[in-house]
Chain A
Amino acid sequence: MFLLLVLIPLFLVLLLNLNLYKVNYKIAVLIAGLFSLFQMFFIFSPNFFSTGLVDLLSLRFECDGISWIMLFSIAIVSFAAICVLYASETIASGKKFHFVNLVLLALAGMNGLVFVRDIFSIYVFIEIIAATSYVLIALDKTKKSLEASFKYLVISSVATVMMLSAVAILFMAAGSTDFIKVAQMYKEYGANPLIVVASVFFIVGLFIKGGVMPFHGWLPDAYSASPNPTSVFLAGIVTKTTGIYTLVRLYAIFDFNYSMQLVFLVFGSLSIVIAAIGAINQDNFKRMLAYSSISQVGYIVLAFGSGTILGVFAGMFHLFNHSVFKSLLFVNASALESRVNTNQIHNMSGLASRMPVTSTTSVIAFLSTAGIPPLAGFWSKLLIVLALWFSGNKEFAVLALLASIFTLTYFLIMQKKIFFGQLKEKFNTIKEARFTIRLASLFLCAITILTGLFFPIILNFMAFLFSF
């Protein structure tokens, strides 16, 4: 039944564009929102995992626990993005319609990516998501967003080339691109230099997609120059699905030796530290969040670097948490932008009194990011540190802990400058953001808090998901 999650958006896109009825953008947004909600609840349905439809079309699709977590995150973030889209005042209504179409396509792509078990298909679906992302970033057609989109395009194309060549090499060696065959091949020829080159190329491609330092050049521009709903969508889930989730899949295939782990550990910690430092001095709110995003991705990569199942578990949990709180922060950023009309931090001050929902939820999000108990971020960071510690990479565990201080630093600076302090006079008449944005904020905030509070239950559930 899970195949529906790929087919329905495809069908919806066709339906919306058939011009059978005069489709208003509001209806389109409503449909997309309903679809994301449907995905959120459909994955809980008992016969969700049944493979009848897949067998019927003889497709090589599978769904397991890790896919499930990704599907849930995708649903949550796309719901938030669509909420923000509805409230957005800067995007013209015609573009909103196209935005919905593109988001649906990206959703289909992401859902498909989550299901595929074939390295070439991975490449194809990543390209779908990337292509939609280019358009979504450039949707404004301002100079900045076009530039950002172009940068993403160029650097992504490097990744594309690398992944494609890696796929070619692996196909040549294994005679197939199926996960199982490739895994078998890895067992036999894992040490062959050509195969090593292939795996490095694949990893680099995914690092570029995920925005790991130093392959992140496109990311701050793309996040900060793109329209608000795109930022939410991109930062919340797109880069995580294309870059990070795929790494988890490769984990199962590639023969992960210590040097591979070391690559993960080194680049993960590099991302954490340098991106956190980079975030401190930023004046653009969204750009700062972009650096923070790189830093958090570093945590996830670091967790994978521990090379244990606990590490993968912690990384996936952090991925989920990160997509929730980072999209919450981007939602707040768009709330601010919709009212203050700027992203420059130095232009804002004392907004807590005027925008209580936004300020409260952003405080919770940043506390969660910094890993303050009992919020969700604390537990995932704890798991990451534990995984690193028990796998013997104690120095990286300590580094991960210390880097939390940086996280706290830049978020405290941000909070102080934006929400606390003296309220500027020109902001006296500012009201809270529109309802749908607030809805998204509160929804994501609730998930962060509940995940933190009911951590034991979540842990059990995730352990159940990992068991198959």
Chain B
Amino acid sequence: MENLYIHIFLLALIVIISVFAVSHYRIIRGAILLGAVSFLVSISLFMLKAPIAAMFELSVCTGLITVIFISVISLTNPVYAGQKKINEMSMVKKIIILFLIVAVCGFFIYLFDEKNINWIPVMNDAQKTVTTKDSLWNLRHVDLIGQALILLTGIFAVVVLFKKGKEEK
């Protein structure tokens, strides 16, 4: 059961760091913290016996994306003093939010600890004729269309939002 405690510890760390990543006033530190989160996630995935996903997470999210982020951000201007002050002011709020999150999590843990419940309800075998593989791949034709649509949307998003049109030049 030691594994469980490590998991809880890791997850709590992920939550806390990600909150800091989002709320930090300097983007570059935010990017670094994001990399840290990805790293923790990959550790967690390793421990959950999903090595491929963990490797992918480690290489792409922790490595590549962080590097891109940091390099891009370092090209932009640093924050100026006024903005910094304003952002520091909201530190109290962040702490309150953090406490709230912890409280909510604790509440749920308490709630589920109270009742002796069947944590993982699994359908009985008679109904489990569809295998996981089936349901994950063979029945996902519909989502192919969806994926195509999302891909196109992504392209247009990039075109519209990031490409400077002729009119704007």
Contact = CB atoms under 8 A, between A and B. Distances in A.
Complex A–B touching at CB under 8 A: yes
Interface of A: 6, 10, 13, 57-61, 92-95, 98, 101-102, 105, 108-109, 112, 116, 118, 120-121, 124-125, 127-128, 131-132, 134-135, 138-139, 141, 171-178, 181, 184-185, 188-189, 192-195, 197
A98 B159 contact: yes
A189 B156 CA distance: 43
A193 B113 CA distance: 11
B145 A10 contact: yes
Contacts of B111: 193
Contact of B165 (A94, A124, A128): A94
A175 B153 contact: no
Nearest to B159: A98
B80 to A, nearest CB: 17
B146 A193 contact: no
A151 to B, nearest CB: 13
User: 3 closest pairs, A vs B, by CB?
Assistant: A124-B146, A189-B121, A135-B157
B64 to A, nearest CB: 21
B117 interface: yes
A127 B150 contact: yes
Given A58-B141, A60-B139, A194 B149 contact: no
B142 A60 contact: yes
Nearest to B167: A92
Contact of B149 (A10, A177, A188): A10
A192 B128 CA distance: 19
A94 B65 CA distance: 31
Contacts of A197: 108
Nearest to A57: B141
Contacts of A13: 152
Given A174-B123, A181-B127, A134 B135 contact: no
Given A128-B149, A175-B132, A194 B121 contact: yes
Given A58-B141, A176-B130, A193-B115, 11 more contacts: A10-B145, A10-B152, A105-B153, A112-B149, A121-B143, A124-B147, A174-B123, A175-B130, A175-B132, A177-B135, A181-B130
B153 A102 contact: yes
Given A105-B152, A178-B139, A134 B157 contact: yes
B92 interface: no
Which among A93, A112, A128 has the greatest number of chain B C-beta atoms within 10 A?
A128
B168 to A, nearest CB: 8
B149 A109 contact: yes
A429 to B, nearest CB: 28
Contacts of A93: 167
Interface in B51-88: none
Which among A173, A184, A193 has the greatest number of chain B C-beta atoms within 10 A?
A193
10 contacts: A10-B148, A13-B152, A59-B142, A92-B165, A98-B159, A101-B156, A102-B153, A173-B123, A175-B135, A189-B121
B154 A131 contact: yes
Given A124-B143, A184-B127, A105 B156 contact: yes
Given A61-B142, A92-B165, A120-B143, A175 B119 contact: no
A118 B141 CA distance: 11
A124 B120 CA distance: 25
Contacts of B146: 109, 112, 121, 124-125, 127-128
B124 to A, nearest CB: 8
A155 to B, nearest CB: 13
Which among B140, B149, B159, B167 has the greatest number of chain A C-beta atoms within 10 A?
B149
Contact of B121 (A101, A134, A185): A185
B5 to A, nearest CB: 21
Nearest to A58: B141
Contacts of A59: 141-142, 145
Contact of A131 (B145, B157, B159): B157
Contact of A171 (B135, B150, B165): B135
Contacts of A132: 153, 156
Contact of A135 (B128, B139, B153, B165): B153
Contacts of A92: 165, 167
B120 A194 contact: yes
Given A57-B141, A176-B130, A108 B149 contact: yes
A308 to B, nearest CB: 28
Contacts of A171: 135
B1 interface: no
A120 B167 CA distance: 40
B122 interface: yes
B166 interface: yes
Contacts of B145: 6, 10, 59, 108, 112
A191 to B, nearest CB: 10
B161 interface: yes
Given A135-B156, A192-B121, A193-B115, A176 B135 contact: yes
A11 to B, nearest CB: 11
A112 B153 CA distance: 15
Nearest to A131: B153
